[in-house]
A and B are shown apart, each in its own frame.
Chain A
Amino acid sequence: MLSDVQKSLLKELTGRDSFADGAFNIRANGQSAGRNSTDSIRIEPKKEGAGLDIYIAPGTRRDHVHIPVVMTDSGLKETVFNDFHVGEGADVEIVAGCGIHNCGCDDSEHDGIHRFFIAKGARVKYVEKHIGGGDGVGKRILNPVTEVEMAEGSSMEMEMAQIKGVDDTDRKTTAHLAAGARLVVRERLMTDGTQRALSTYVVSLDGPGSSADIVSRGVSRGKSFQRLDLRIAGNAPCKGHTECDSIIMDDSRILAVPALEANDVDASLVHEAAIGRIAGEQLIKLMTLGLTQAEAEERIINGFLA
């Protein structure tokens, strides 16, 4: 039975009030709090260690699977391995994410290691949200690792969002793309207080005609720190684009580390990076429309991270 706090975290993570049908696995305080497989999506616990194998049958059409994690016990630390096996030609949306509510004085930590094996021609949309809450002094720590293997002609769209509340995160994402595969990443980060967020992407475009478009937007406030490390290696005729776009506020710090590596004369790689405060003209414009300065800042930030 889920507590009210757990239910509200789940709602925030998935947009759903309850889970009854469809494929899902809910993990609450280190235990499974509900699981369902369907004809096309099978979820099995790992035989050894914590985690799941999720099998999406070849040819699955427009299905979805939810695997949210909620933690409300202070002092819990766990590492979970989830492997997604996406069959040939399948089309699936995977909604993951972790909500930590820490009211205690001990640190809570969830390290999710997600591996994706995406077969030929499959299409995956992966949505991952990280949220933190609770007023305890114990930290909320999330260290997600995402590893992606993309076969010929497959595509993956990742939406990663971490908006406030998480004290410390070290996020690592790697991907290998075969011929004609396409990876699109949209990352949104907001840090405040003394939070720290590190995000590293290492994408290898191995097959001819593969492409990647990675865009990370961040807002840092308070005394927080963000490091964005976006690396694309072009090992074949391919197209790669990365973009770091950050709004810096207060006494925060941001380090953007762009890296492009071309190992093929027909690799076309572009990086864009920009860090700056909210433009004064933007604030003035919204104030002339009747917003206070604080309201204007919120609107600009919310729009930027939308």
Chain B
Amino acid sequence: MLEIDNLSFDVETEAGPKSVLRGVSLSLAPGRLVVVTGPNGSGKSTLARLIAGIETPTSGRILLDGRDITGLSITERAKAGIGFAFQQPVRFKGLKVIDLLRIAAGRNLTIHEACDHLAAVGLCAQDYVRREVNSSLSGGELKRIEIATIFAKASKVSIFDEPEAGIDLWSFQNLIQAFKEMRQAVADASLMIISHQERILAIADEIVVIKGGSIERQGPKDEILPSLIGTEMAMGGCPRGLPWRKADA
């Protein structure tokens, strides 16, 4: 169970402190999938980075299974059971895909196991498992590898920051299937996906709408989704690399 309790985050700017998130509270129960949506710049990614420990909140608490993890480092949170797929994955000269998957899994995955994770994100595993995670990979390939590492990590709570960005239509359909499979494969795994893609919103149990740093609405999918369809917070069609580009224009 992940609980976010009255979380706020300010940044220093030339014009003084600016509030990025204000009083955000939500909970993510075991086995549930929550999709966080909202306009660009509303603070969605910041919320994810606060949960992963990359940023430190100005106030508020983060609890995992009742334990206050607000003061824990990134590493300690990862070990406690938080997984985080970056919106913009990182390249590493010399590290291979299999190395990243093994670090994520925390054990010496077999090639076969690593290939299963890659296949889940639509990559022909044999071609990729020994590839370097460097600039020879396209943005889309890198993104899928990023998601595969989070599948390999199999955390209690996995957070995906715009997993669809940069992924083509074919992989996108597979990605939806992969999220469904992850929910079945990892018992009681909770997923938080930041997205404004209608088809990802459609697989949510709950939807949280963040605007201007605060939660505007949250509730079961069936309650929230109908009002979002057709807006920038639930875009249809084929996702493109750039957020907020009119996808089917």
Query: From residue 269 to 306 of chain A, which have CB atoms closer than 8 A to chain B?
Result: 279, 281-282, 284-293, 299-300, 302-306
Verify if B106 is at the interface (C-beta below 8 Å from A). Answer: yes
A287 touching B94 by the CB < 8 A rule?
no
**Of A284, A290, A300, A303, most B-chain CB atoms within 10 Å:** A290
B52 touching A299 by the CB < 8 A rule?
no
A residues with CB within 8 A of B: 245, 279, 281-282, 284-293, 299-300, 302-306
Contact flag A285-B90 (CB < 8 Å), given A291-B75, A303-B99: yes
Query: From residue 195 to 222 of chain B, which have CB atoms closer than 8 A to chain A?
Result: none
**Contact residues in A for B96 (Cβ distance below 8 Å):** 303
Chain B residue at smallest Cβ distance from A284: B54
Q: Could you list 22 examples of A-B contacts with CB < 8 Å?
A: A281-B86, A281-B90, A282-B92, A284-B54, A285-B90, A287-B73, A287-B74, A287-B78, A288-B52, A288-B78, A288-B84, A289-B78, A289-B100, A290-B103, A290-B104, A292-B75, A293-B75, A299-B95, A303-B93, A303-B94, A303-B99, A304-B93
Verify if B149 is at the interface (C-beta below 8 Å from A). Answer: yes
Verify if B156 is at the interface (C-beta below 8 Å from A). Answer: no
**Contact residues in B for A300 (Cβ distance below 8 Å):** 92, 94-95
Verify if B44 is at the interface (C-beta below 8 Å from A). Answer: no
Cβ-neighbour of A305 out of B73, B92, B94 (below 8 A): B94
A-B contact count (CB 8 A): 60
Chain B residue at smallest Cβ distance from A295: B75
Chain A residue at smallest Cβ distance from B133: A303
**Contact residues in A for B103 (Cβ distance below 8 Å):** 286, 289-291, 299
Tell me, in angstroms, the Cα distance from A210 to B75 when the chains sit together.
50
Verify if B180 is at the interface (C-beta below 8 Å from A). Answer: no
Main secondary structure of the interface of B (DSSP, over half): mixed
Contact flag A288-B95 (CB < 8 Å), given A279-B90, A282-B90: no
**Contact residues in A for B84 (Cβ distance below 8 Å):** 288
Tell me, in angstroms, the Cα distance from A300 to B104 when the chains sit together.
14
Verify if B83 is at the interface (C-beta below 8 Å from A). Answer: yes
Chain A residue at smallest Cβ distance from B49: A284
Tell me, in angstroms, the Cα distance from A292 to B76 when the chains sit together.
8
Question: What is the CB-to-nearest-CB distance from B48 to chain A, in angstroms, rounded to a whole number?
Answer: 11
Tell me, in angstroms, the Cα distance from A300 to B83 when the chains sit together.
20
**Contact residues in A for B54 (Cβ distance below 8 Å):** 284, 288
**Contact residues in A for B74 (Cβ distance below 8 Å):** 284, 287-288
Cβ-neighbour of B153 out of A281, A289, A303 (below 8 A): A289
Chain A residue at smallest Cβ distance from B88: A281
Verify if B79 is at the interface (C-beta below 8 Å from A). Answer: yes
**Contact residues in B for A285 (Cβ distance below 8 Å):** 86, 89-90
Chain B residue at smallest Cβ distance from A281: B90
Tell me, in angstroms, the Cα distance from A74 to B232 when the chains sit together.
73
A303 touching B95 by the CB < 8 A rule?
yes
Tell me, in angstroms, the Cα distance from A304 to B92 when the chains sit together.
8
Tell me, in angstroms, the Cα distance from A291 to B75 when the chains sit together.
6
Chain A residue at smallest Cβ distance from B84: A288
Tell me, in angstroms, the Cα distance from A305 to B94 when the chains sit together.
7
Cβ-neighbour of B94 out of A289, A290, A293, A306 (below 8 A): A306
Beyond the given pairs A282-B92, A288-B78, A290-B103, 15 more chain A to chain B contacts, judged by CB atoms under 8 angstroms and listed by A's residue number, are A282-B90, A286-B103, A287-B78, A288-B53, A288-B82, A288-B83, A289-B100, A289-B103, A290-B75, A299-B95, A300-B92, A303-B94, A303-B96, A304-B93, A304-B94
**Contact residues in B for A305 (Cβ distance below 8 Å):** 94
User: Considering the complex of A and B, which 7 residue pairs feature the smallest CB-CB distances, nearest first?
Assistant: A303-B94, A303-B95, A287-B74, A290-B78, A304-B94, A285-B90, A289-B104
**Of B79, B95, B96, most A-chain CB atoms within 10 Å:** B95
Question: What is the CB-to-nearest-CB distance from B180 to chain A, in angstroms, rounded to a whole number?
Answer: 23
Tell me, in angstroms, the Cα distance from A289 to B79 when the chains sit together.
8
